[in-house]
Amino acid sequence: MRRADLSRRQMLAFLGGLGLGSVLAACGGLGVLLWWWSRPPASTDVPPLPTAQLAQATPPPTATVPPPPPQPFVSREAWGALPVNHEAANENGFYSAENREGWRVYDDLYTAYQTLVVHHSVIEADSDLATVREVQALHQGERGWADVGYHFLIGKDGALYEGRTLAARGVHVAGYNTGSVGVCLLGNLSNSEPTPAQWQMLVQVCLWLKGLLGLTHLAAHRDFNPMTACPGDTLWAAMDTLAQGVGLERGTGGYLGDA
């Protein structure tokens, strides 16, 4: 997809649809990918992703309509998200030269974003829905952010949960949030592997956001912040495979700074 083909009006219309909680159609053209693990769960070997069908996953150069998110998609309205709090202690007010930690709305999403950053929640409640709500409560309460820090969260059943609006800068990578999309897999992936459904959805989300935003890089949280174990050792071990499979460069080289 070329930059000229994705107008701001189309993007805003798309984001507006997400905000209204629309249930969008399944992402067209996505190939059915094989499960990541063909070995028993205890194995830590990571076979390569199949790439034969990936060329069909991104929209053709002549596409003029942004592709919808992969399904199943759970909107903020559907999972009961709390409203954004613009009086939050640590993300107070709106971004400006004098308030660089405020809520930042991007002017042009296709030029704003460069890198998809992968996380794990560590938190595990009784259900995916409860976990998503607990993550937002932690981020807004204890951490003092205006909203959940991630743009998307992926449940163990493979459902994609809408987090912070893509129109706004996330809060998920200390010092490197500008231009970074935050995608969080639910669960503690230091102790367990992503479910096959989570892995399949993560691949689809990478391909979708690559086409939607023109992303160039894929990184794990610890690539930017080495002091953290996020996104867990099992997912960390698969990052190179994932980057190669979805056609993104691995690492932090896409970060352009807080301009």
Residue range 105-138, pLDDT digits in tens: 999 999 999 999 999 999 999 999 999 999 999 9
Taking Cα atoms as reference points, which of 253, 248, 255, 250 lies closest to residue 57? 248
Residue 18: pLDDT band by 50, 70, 90 thresholds? very low
**Cβ-contact 69, 12 below 8 angstroms:** no
Q: Please report which helix (H) or strand (E) contains residue 200, including its range.
A: helix 196-213
Residue 28 has pLDDT above 50, yes or no: no
Q: Supply 175's token pair.
A: 């010092």
Architecture of domain 3-31+50-80+102-250: 3-Layer(aba) Sandwich (3.40)
- CA dist., res. 21 & res. 256, Å (int): 32
Q: What is the pLDDT of residue 186?
A: 98
- CA dist., res. 30 & res. 180, Å (int): 23
Helix/strand/coil for 249: strand
Name the one residue in this structure whose structure tokens are 């996104």.
Answer: 231
Instruction: Report, as an integer, the average pLDDT of 11-23.
Output: 40
Residue 200: pLDDT band by 50, 70, 90 thresholds? very high
Per residue in 53-102, pLDDT tens? 333 334 444 445 778 999 999 999 999 999 999 999 999 999 999 999 99
In sign, the C-alpha dihedral spanning 61, 64, 70, 75 is: positive
Q: How far apart are the first and last CA of the chain?
A: 25
User: Which of residues 46 and 199 earns the better pLDDT score?
Assistant: 199
User: Which of residues 171 and 29 earns the better pLDDT score?
Assistant: 171
* pLDDT, the chain, mean: 82
- CA dist., res. 161 & res. 136, Å (int): 12
Q: What is the pLDDT of residue 119?
A: 98
Instruction: Report, as an integer, the average pLDDT of 230-235.
Output: 97
Q: What is the pLDDT of residue 143?
A: 97
- CA dist., res. 86 & res. 90, Å (int): 10
- CA dist., res. 106 & res. 253, Å (int): 21
Phi, psi of 115 (to 5 degrees): -130, 135
DSSP state of 45: -
**Cβ-contact 178, 257 below 8 angstroms:** yes
Q: What is the pLDDT of residue 66?
A: 77
Q: What is the pLDDT of residue 32?
A: 31
Residue 25: pLDDT band by 50, 70, 90 thresholds? very low
Strand partners, 168: 105
Per residue in 46-58, pLDDT tens? 444 433 333 333 4
Taking Cα atoms as reference points, which of 126, 123, 172, 179 lies closest to residue 145? 172
**Cβ-contact 86, 92 below 8 angstroms:** yes
Residue 19 has pLDDT above 60, yes or no: no
